[in-house]
Chain A
Amino acid sequence: MLAFAIRRLFEALLVMITVALLAFVLFRYVGDPVNQMVGQDTSLEDRLKLRHELGLDDPVLVQFARFIANAATLNFGISYQMKQPVISIISDRLPATIELALAAALIAVALGIPMGVYTGIHRDSWLSKVFLTVSLVGISLPTFLIGILLIYVFSVWLHLLPTFGRGEVVSIGFWRTGLLTVSGLKALILPAITLGLFQMTLVTRLVRAEMLEVLRTDYIKFARARGLSERAINFGHALKNTLVPVITVIGLQLGSIVAFAIITETVFQWPGMGLMFIQAVQHADIPVMAAYLMLVAFLFVLINFIVDLVYVRIDPRIRILRRAA
């Protein structure tokens, strides 16, 4: 277990260094930091002086080390476009994205698992067919189209829900939450559905496939032979055994949710990190892009790492196999 964790940690470190290198190259060579900081009429000597002060004439390796050290202390420089420290922009935007992502994940799990179990048990019922059709549509429709469709139906047509922003927010320390006000919750519904739909279809299909597989096994037949109730068989024996891959996929999908949040946040003008990133791309705001890159990479690596460990933890079969090997 420990050796496994260390090897995983090493791999995670490799990913982080690669990404940091990319971010550094981006930061250092795409768009000259000095040009972005001074005006047109700054003299060459002043530019050189500034260059020296910023340490831009040091050896590249020294600069890279400094970049990593800065990143580790969350110092990502100053946004070209907004003229604020990048980290303050991010800490401003982070809560919005996290609340949206968690709401979407909740929808995906709370609806996806029951739908998957149902379609797995009742293979040929009409409701299963409806669920599967919905999930096919969910996979084929691009996220932004789903968002636009929801806006059209629920806002333009029915006037039920707001179409953009987070509604009213309440500050708890630095965390500004929209979960405590009615308007905040109402504003969350459509973006969360948009973001969660794809993951929901994924969970549904996965649980269904796993259920079909497990229900064929001998121990389910044996449970049936013992005269256990359908409920006990389906939930106590079958579902429990499908959960390992499901938990893995859900964990890994948390990362995808953060990625797809870029699209959802743009459609709904949700003031999160995704919208910040798109605006940074549109304005070639390199420090923000570099910081986003590093942060998202860290998040992904962290999630992957945790999922790997949990995976070993919850499935005794893997542990035993590993010990035997």
Chain B
Amino acid sequence: MSEHPPVIPQAEPKARLSGTSPDESDLTRSRIGAPLASVSHRSVRDDGWRWLDSDLVYSFTRSKLVMAAALLTVLMLGAALLAPLIAPHDPYDLKSLSLLDANTPPAWEQGGDARFPLGTDDQGRDILSTILYGTRSSLLISLTAVLLATGLGVALGLWAGYAGGRVDAVIMRAADVQLTFPAILTALLIDGVMLAVVRNTTLEAGKFWVLVISIGLAYWVQYARTVRGVTLVERNKEYVEAARLIGLRPVKIMFQHILPNVLGPVLVIATINLALAIITEATLSFLGVGLPPTEPSLGTMIQIGNRYLFSGSWWMVAFPGFTLALLALAVNLLGDWLRDALNPKLR
């Protein structure tokens, strides 16, 4: 983004001394284009740390709940990323599993085993390790799906808004039709159809992409509608006109000049969408149409645990369930905060 400044730069009250401010605060400023009033009492930094003075950082440090949510999200992301390093066992390593260890309760319960802090599942897999690996695959799928939804929605929204006319009508009609149905139903339907198509491929990677595509396609509408709305406003501004006059191609205008101005709302939607994607992935896996039970994901773990609920093995479903709820809650809180923080009307 910073490599290609817009033809007519956004009005920015304070001259930027270092051009390397992170895009997060950059983005708010360019979107809101207002002086940083709320932090004017502080001394203005003139080194690379000026982004610490931005409104976003300020409102972040104001709310303990948001900071806790961010910390939790980072911790869970980190734990998921480092799962192979920090997990005490490898749930994929079938040799290390022993059915003799199956259904062990958590370490502090009667009959618990110190090797398995949170107990084991029906195949003797350590619950803690499986949760770490499961969170990893859940997050991997959700993030890829959100990326797909964002890319698709933003591209279609830009196109519809910029081109207008028939293109706009077709894209937005399609969005309307899809909006008639709840996203989870759309995801389920696409998932069902794709599973029927790729029925004979037993590839695990196939299931990964089935999930990514069904979730991604289910959530593009909101991006497209938002981006189109902003694009409709932006395309009549002088800087776009100037870009058109010097003969830039429409694709370049859309993605390099208009796109930076719609990124704020897109970021908000993407964050809230991540929570939805995590829940959708877990739901599909729980319903048995997502990842196969051999592949640990939070949804499949809960599905397996649910079968053993009546035998009193509560830990098989409680810990993954708790992890899932916590993850969704944390990301949701972040999204809510981001929406309010980036909304100039609420200041």
Contacts and interface: CB of A to CB of B under 8 A. Distances in A.
A152 B314 contact: yes
Interface in B259-293: 275, 279, 282-283, 286-289
A135 to B, nearest CB: 13
Interface stretch (B94-102, B125-133, B159-167, B173-181): B173-181
Nearest to B331: A140
A143 B321 CA distance: 11
Interface stretch (A42-50, A71-79, A174-182, A281-289): A281-289
Most chain B C-beta atoms within 10 Å of own C-beta, residue among A141, A142, A152, A259: A142
Interface residues of A, number: 44
B325 A140 contact: yes
Contact of B181 (A139, A267, A297): A297
A278 interface: yes
Q: From DSSP, what is the main secondary structure of chain B's interface residues?
A: helix
Given A142-B324, A262-B188, A286 B177 contact: no
Contacts of A281: 188, 191-192, 195-196, 289
A298 B314 CA distance: 41
Interface residues of B, number: 38
Contacts of B287: 144, 262-263, 266, 278
B309 A289 contact: no
A201 interface: no
Most chain B C-beta atoms within 10 Å of own C-beta, residue among A140, A277, A286, A293: A140
Given A259-B182, A301-B180, A141 B309 contact: no
A18 interface: yes
B177 A14 contact: yes
Interface in A126-141: 136, 139-141
A260 B182 contact: yes
Contacts of A267: 306
Q: From DSSP, what is the main secondary structure of chain A's interface residues?
A: helix
A105 interface: no
Contact of A142 (B181, B195, B282): B282
Given A30-B196, A145-B321, A148-B306, A282 B328 contact: no
Given A15-B180, A282-B289, A259 B324 contact: no
Contacts of B188: 262, 277, 281
7 contacts: A140-B329, A144-B282, A144-B287, A148-B309, A151-B309, A152-B317, A156-B309
Interface of B: 173, 176-177, 180-182, 184-185, 188-189, 191-193, 195-197, 199, 275, 279, 282-283, 286-289, 302, 306, 309-310, 312, 314, 317, 321, 324-325, 328-329, 332
